[in-house]
Structure 1
Amino acid sequence: MSSSKATTVLNPRTTSYEFLGPPGAFLVSVGVPFVLYAIYFGCNESSGGCPPALDTIPDRVISAVTDVNWWKGLWDSEASIIYFGWYAFCLISWAILPGDWVEGTTLRTGEKKLYKINAFSTFLLALGTTSGWIIRNGPESFTFFYDKWVGFVTAALINSFVQSVYCYASSFRANRLLALGGNSGNFLYDWYIGRELNPSIGSLDLKSFNELRPGLILWILINISMVCEQAVRRGGFANVTDSMWLVLAFQTWYVADGLYNEPALFTTMDITSDGFGFMLSVGDLSWVPFIYSVQARYLAFHPVELGIPATVGIIFANALGYWIFRDSNGEKNDFRNGKNPKNLKFMQTKRGTKLLTSGWWGISQHPNYLGDLIMALAWCLPTGFNTPVTYFYPIYFAVLLIHRQRRDDEACHQKYGQDWIEYKKRVPYRIVPYIY
């Protein structure tokens, strides 16, 4: 077989689109930066509300975008230096901190990619360095994320764009393994969805690195900065509100849990199926740190005192979500590794694989998504109910998880055929029992 034919077999042309194809890719690529800026300008101390009165928004937008100074204000040199310094810190930590090398899933080439596991160590180093800085210099020295929010967003967007362009261009080098969904031949769509499956620089896998380190850890550092901002305004850490501590505790635990269980990432759809294009790049580097931290930013300038009953209730909601999320993932991972300590029921497929039909996985097809959604809501409850902006995250997250569920359903139907139809009869609910 000639090399060109072998390449065609290994990297077949993509024949179907997601996200409504190139028009959808364009809309999302423009829409994500727009939403990032809109949520800040529509919910801050000087916006006249959170959001401001709807009838004032058109005039405010026109006034801003027709003002050269407003556009210049999106760039902040100091914020950019700090941001890219942070990214360099993550790269250096990946390189020098010790960590095991583990194998990912088997690729279409029959090979297995190696990944270095030290994201949790990077997280601990970042937290230790940050804590030492604040103890030595005071909380006022770490409020720069609040003060320079827009500049940091711009720097993250530039990084997202540059990386996606680099990954698209490098995907045309010889012997690249492409993502099955990112080889359509349409420049815009392939750039957005990700053309190469595992773009790497040497032994550094860009996709897994960006998914776990720069944006995810930065999310928590931003939250800590918001705590510092509130502490400065209220006369010290002793006066920081219970709502702010809850948001910091919940989200720090979530990130720490994900980083500690780093190997679990390598079986997710993002790693095994999706290419690394603008969609994942902007999501990892820009969306995660600056959308997921909106609750903490809101509480920095709009403190909320919850009291003991509300605090206990919110803690219970978050604990419930975490229990469902972690226990269901534990059942799945045990089962994939040939263990079944709970003696869960399963159905045998014609492919020779097994599908769980009891435990959490008998309640819904994606119980881990259910736990994730409950936690997402618990993170917003500390902000109260005076604004819908802080609840943007669980709404967006629900849409994202439903989209992922539908992608998974389509892939499993192709993989298992009639067995998948039978499975859905046994486990009819997709995420939320009796609702969806």
Structure 2
Amino acid sequence: MSRQKPLKSSEQSIPAYSSITINGESSENIDEVVDNEVVLEFGGPWGVTAMMIGFPPLMYYLWGCLNFYGGAIVSPLNRDLWKQIIDGAYPTWHATTIYVLFVLFQLFLAYIMPGPIVQGAPVPSLKGRKLDYLCNGLTSWYATLIVSCVLHLNGWFRLSEVIDEFGHLMTAAIMTAFILTIMIYVIAVATNKQHRMSGYLMYDLFMGAPLNPRIRHVDLKMFAEVRITWVLLFFITISAAVKQYELFGYVSAPMWFMVLAHFLYTNACMKGEECIPTTWDMTYEKFGFMLIFWNLAGVPFTYCYSTLYLHISSINNNKPVEHSLGFTVFCYVLLLVGYYIWDTANSQKNRFRMIMNGTYISRYAFPQLPWGTLENPTFIKTQQGNLLLTGGWWSIARKIHYTADLIMAFSWAFITGFETVIPFFYPVFFVIVLIHRVSRDMHRCARKYGKDWEEYCKKVPYIFIPGVY
């Protein structure tokens, strides 16, 4: 297997931590204290149990409303609706085989494809040790695109089959997510690899037991977050576009919009994968139902509602959805503006972090956008030695990348028009998720950085929207 050795930046890394006191804890162990602190979230054991039980039926219900009623909101007590859902989404060997082979193929690529090895942030539970991450998402992404084209063009697997089998594939994904959640939990406990356990079974299943589960050099958290979620979402959309071409001989502007939107998002995750190892998901979140279900089933099969509506509507009306030129241009502009801010903001922060940690590497994957790397950025140095970026986009708002993400999310809904509210599920749900995620992050940072965090909040007072919130 060809893999690059870890690359180091020529920039000077952060000086070693000094032993000082922050909020009553020495800086030598404040990270470990925060990392081990159990905070019951999402309504505690009862709340997460309700989410684990309730989210799959919600996914089936919204898909059923789209697929069988054109997006109309039907009573959830409608027996005909659930009969149609069962008929259209019962588990089949064919769909399960497609889904499992896709996951295994992505795992195979994650294991063998070449790419740089990047160190993550210090892991408190490992006494500050930095884990190595093989970042071969870009080569795996290109390999996936090539293989899918070969399969499609030779008639071995038509891409339009994904959208045809959507209901059955969703069931396969949901089943796989539940099975893996239980398996990984049991293995972690059996091998004494559990971390930050609450003592409540359902809560620990939801949040997860292991922090950094791996199969050799493949980190399962990063694998699920990048290689399954967004790649599958893209192929659902490209499948709908291929199906539209097969039915009507062309692909409409709104459907091209969704192909572009999901390609840009997936491609950005791949070309910037080396930035992921230092993120909160990798260093703090455990690998349980929340991340497993969401990445293997939740995201790809709910964030695609705009694509599904465009697909179903074209079949029901025997013609693709079209909008006025002005409205279509507005949606495209909104998407591209949101994407530019999102891509460059994430790039600025993560490259700054990597440069200061000595793990930055130069990559030239398409597209490399202007202002993606800051020169001489301003920042606040905490008493621990950590740096809080206050330059570039990050001088405007503390979560500017989330703002841009929401701009894109709403553009995905706008391109469908306003005949149904279901495509707006993703952006509205995303708002709720981000508000909760930000509150968790703010609490953790305030606990960790103390007065330095107060200074940072004064320097960058707004969270999402400058001058508003």
TM over 0.5: yes
The letter of the residue matching 1:20 is G
Change (3 A) 1:191 1:353: same
Q: Deviation digits for residues 71-112 of structure 1, max 9, x if unmatched?
A: 795212211111111112112212222223322222222322
Change (3 A) 1:26 1:151: same
State whether residues 251 and 379 of structure 1, in contact with CA within 8 Å, keep that contact through their aligned partners in structure 2: no
State whether residues 185 and 209 of structure 2, in contact with CA within 8 Å, keep that contact through their aligned partners in structure 1: yes
Q: Are 2:174 and 1:157 aligned?
A: yes
State whether residues 118 and 133 of structure 2, in contact with CA within 8 Å, keep that contact through their aligned partners in structure 1: yes
Matches within 5 A, 1:95-134: 95-108=111-124, 109=126, 110-134=128-152
The letter of the residue matching 2:142 is L
1:211 is aligned to 225
Q: What is the rounded CA distance, in whole Å, between the counterparts of 2:437 and 2:340 in structure 1?
A: 21
1:199 is aligned to 213
3-state SS of paired residue (2:154): helix
3-state SS of paired residue (1:221): helix
C-alpha deviation, 1:325, in angstroms: 1.2
Matches within 5 A, 1:366-377: 366-377=399-410
State whether residues 317 and 375 of structure 1, in contact with CA within 8 Å, keep that contact through their aligned partners in structure 2: yes
C-alpha deviation, 1:158, in angstroms: 1.2
State whether residues 241 and 304 of structure 1, in contact with CA within 8 Å, keep that contact through their aligned partners in structure 2: yes
* 156-165 or 307-316: bigger deviation: 307-316
Query: Aligned-pair RMSD on alpha carbons?
Result: 2.5
C-alpha deviation, 1:327, in angstroms: 2.2
3-state SS of paired residue (1:432): coil
Q: Provide structure 1 residue ranges, at least 5 long, that are not aligned to the other structure.
A: 1-8
| Bigger relative contact order, structure 1 or 2 (CA pairs below 8 A, ≥6 apart) | 2
2:44 is aligned to 21
3-state SS of paired residue (1:137): coil
TM-score (norm. length: structure 1): 0.88
Q: Are 2:71 and 1:50 aligned?
A: yes
Q: Are 2:291 and 1:280 aligned?
A: yes
Q: Deviation digits for residues 345-387 of structure 1, max 9, x if unmatched?
A: 3333333333233432121111111111111112222111111
Q: What is the rounded CA distance, in whole Å, between the counterparts of 1:285 and 1:29 in structure 2?
A: 14
* 296-305 or 184-193: bigger deviation: 296-305
> Percent identity of the aligned residues?
32
C-alpha deviation, 1:127, in angstroms: 1.4
State whether residues 161 and 239 of structure 2, in contact with CA within 8 Å, keep that contact through their aligned partners in structure 1: yes
State whether residues 242 and 307 of structure 1, in contact with CA within 8 Å, keep that contact through their aligned partners in structure 2: no
Q: Are 2:366 and 1:333 aligned?
A: no
C-alpha deviation, 1:229, in angstroms: 1.7
The letter of the residue matching 1:105 is A
Matches within 5 A, 1:16-415: 16-44=39-67, 46-47=68-69, 49-52=70-73, 54=74, 57-60=75-78, 62-63=79-80, 70=86, 73-108=89-124, 109=126, 110-137=128-155, 141-174=158-191, 176=193, 178=195, 180=196, 183-234=197-248, 236=249, 239-302=250-313, 303-336=320-353, 337-338=355-356, 341-415=374-448
The letter of the residue matching 2:214 is S
Q: What is the rounded CA distance, in whole Å, between the counterparts of 1:383 and 1:273 in structure 2?
A: 37
C-alpha deviation, 1:174, in angstroms: 4.4
State whether residues 374 and 392 of structure 2, in contact with CA within 8 Å, keep that contact through their aligned partners in structure 1: no
TM-score (norm. length: structure 2): 0.82
State whether residues 89 and 170 of structure 2, in contact with CA within 8 Å, keep that contact through their aligned partners in structure 1: no
Q: What is the rounded CA distance, in whole Å, between the counterparts of 1:15 and 1:265 in structure 2?
A: 24
The letter of the residue matching 2:66 is C
Matches within 5 A, 1:422-433: 422-433=455-466
